[in-house]
Amino acid sequence: MVNSGLKSRKVSFRIPYYTQWGQNVLICGSDRLLGSWNVKKGLLLKPSHQGEELIWSGSIPVPPGYQSEYSYYVVDDRRNILRWEVGKKRKLLLPDGFQDGQSLELHDLWQDFNVGHKTCIRGVFGSFGGAATGYAVEELGELR
């Protein structure tokens, strides 16, 4: 096997969410890398504790120009859906200039309008060449 020396692009997902024992969080999306809306094939995230928060995270290597819609799901050990986000599907579009060897980290918040939130905020953090490139906020909508 020949090593071309190229590094892949990577997108990482991160979301704080408390689950019960035996439950997992996964991402499922419109692209095959995120399961083609088949939860059984979605990206299962790994939990870690950061202070008092339970953070679920995972990453995928992506090709140039990658884009996908996606949502988060709480599933059991057999990937049966227990809960899912409400609201609009999230959209992932790689930023211009996203090159081999770079990574993009998405910091998301669970969309759940049943707990009194008027808006949900999604932060996007990019790491290009070791420097943070900014923070974007997307308002997802008001309760009706």
Q: 84-95: per-residue pLDDT in tens? A: 998 889 999 888
**Is residue 117 scored above 60 in pLDDT?**
no
Please give the residue that has the higher pLDDT: either 98 or 78: 78
Question: Is pLDDT of 143 > 60?
Answer: no
Question: For the residues 38-62, what does the mean pLDDT come to?
Answer: 95
Closest CA to 107 of 89, 132, 124: 124
Please give the residue that has the higher pLDDT: either 126 or 132.
126
64 compared with 135, residue with greater pLDDT: 64
The three-state (H, E, C) secondary structure of the chain, written as one string = CCCCCCCCEEEEEEEECCCCCCCEEEEEECCHHHCCCCHHHCEECEEEEECCEEEEEEEEEECCCCEEEEEEEEECCCCCEEEECCCCCEEEECCCCCCCCCEEEEECCCCCHHHCCCCCCCEEEEEECCEEEEEEECCCCCCC
